[in-house]
Amino acid sequence: MEILWISLILLVPVVVANFSERHRRSPYLSRDGHRNDVLDLLLRYAPYALLGVINVGFLGVAALALLNQLAKMMMPQQLEPQAVAANWWLVAVVCLLTAALALLPLIPAVRRWVARFLPIDPDSVVHTTALAFGIYELGLSLGQMALIGDLENLTDLGLSLTTWDVLLSGLPLVLFAVAGVGLFIRRDGRGTWARLGLHRPTWKQLILAAGLTVLLLGFNSGVDWAWKALDPEGYALVEQVTETIFGGLMTVAGAIVLGLSAGISEEMLFRGAIQPRLGLLLASILFAIGHLQYGLTVATLEVFIIGLVLGIVRQRTHTTVCILIHAGYNSAGVLLGLLQP
């Protein structure tokens, strides 16, 4: 629930950026000229100010991490075991770098340079916010890895997801997707679904989705076989982490909830909202970063490759087909796991 509240707070800059973009293209005007000037000033600079506040927040976390590191060095007996195991130096460095890098999209010259490689409008506040939030996601994921430590520590934490946890974790992604493209601000409902690529699939596309789901499951089996043969200890550790986190979902109902929640929410955000703006490669990288519960392992590389495949499907068809593939892949993976002795 805490993650949901944090996500709602982080949605504020996204919503404000959309109002600012709407004002830039079609100004909000009233008969009061002074009020128009105030509103123009507010909507022009408020999104940048809110991003600056988030950057300051990262600096604050970096300072707290440094204090924890000092406490770890001077009086480790006063800290909980998880706090002692955390790499607070690395947390501080990640937060500092995140705050510094997230300042770059606020510089017009940087955005104009980025626009040479990505389909963004360097004058768009929404696109500026999207670039900054991509950096925030990277920083939060790497910071979480540094905080937890290695995969053995993650296993020791005993984190286990329930169906309610899965549903709650998917809701913020959907909210970011629809808010990011300006639902009820820059677009109506129909325009939002079109921008996200949510269309009714044809029979050929349904067959394509089924076929690619089977191929991706085969690809996963092949990766597992090779990984287990070449690095049995690493494979066993990731399997243990997966069992710890997702063990409570190893039911038919869990398979359905996991498939639909992850399939709908992740595809709406990464393939629907992000990819058309930041491109196939960057969207796939962000998708893989969002799955760093596996650490920097073969599993993360596999997620990246699957993200590329789904991104190509998005380019050739639409997001709904990606949702069907993703949901089918996740659900079938759980159901096949139930059949194993």
User: In 3D, which of 196, 185, 184 has the Cα closest to residue 47?
Assistant: 185
Q: How many CB atoms within 10 Å of residue 173?
A: 21
- Stretch among 7-11, 201-205, 331-335 having the lowest mean pLDDT: 7-11
The pLDDT tens digits of the residues spanning 275-305 come to 999 999 999 999 999 887 667 788 899 999 9
* Percent of the residues in the chain that have a pLDDT greater than 70, as a whole number: 91
| Residue boundaries of the structural domains of the chain | 1-149, 161-341
- Cβ-Cβ contacts under 8 Å for 66 (sequence gap 6 or more): 88, 89, 92
Q: What DSSP designation does 293 have?
A: G
The pLDDT tens digits of the residues spanning 91-137 come to 999 999 999 999 999 999 999 999 999 989 999 999 999 999 999 99
The amino acid at 50: L
- Stretch among 83-97, 139-153, 167-181 having the lowest mean pLDDT: 139-153
> Average pLDDT in the 153-163 region?
68
Cα 57 to the center of its chain, rounded Å: 19
Higher-confidence residue of 232 and 243: namely 232
Q: What is the mean pLDDT of the chain?
A: 89
The predicted pLDDT at position 21 comes to 95
The amino acid at 201: P
Q: First vs last Cα of the chain: how many Å apart?
A: 35
> Average pLDDT in the 132-155 region?
80
Confidence of residue 83 (pLDDT cuts 50, 70, 90): low
- Stretch among 35-49, 62-76, 151-165 having the lowest mean pLDDT: 151-165
Higher-confidence residue of 240 and 135: namely 135
For 7, the token pair is 């996500």
The Cα-based distances of 49 to 8, 15, 43, 82, 293 in angstroms read: 18, 14, 10, 35, 32
- As a dihedral over the C-alpha atoms of residue 20, residue 13, residue 8, residue 283, rounded to 10 degrees, the angle is 100
Beta bridge partner(s), residue 183: 187
Beta bridge partner(s), residue 187: 183
The pLDDT tens digits of the residues spanning 191-211 come to 999 999 999 999 999 999 999
The predicted pLDDT at position 244 comes to 78
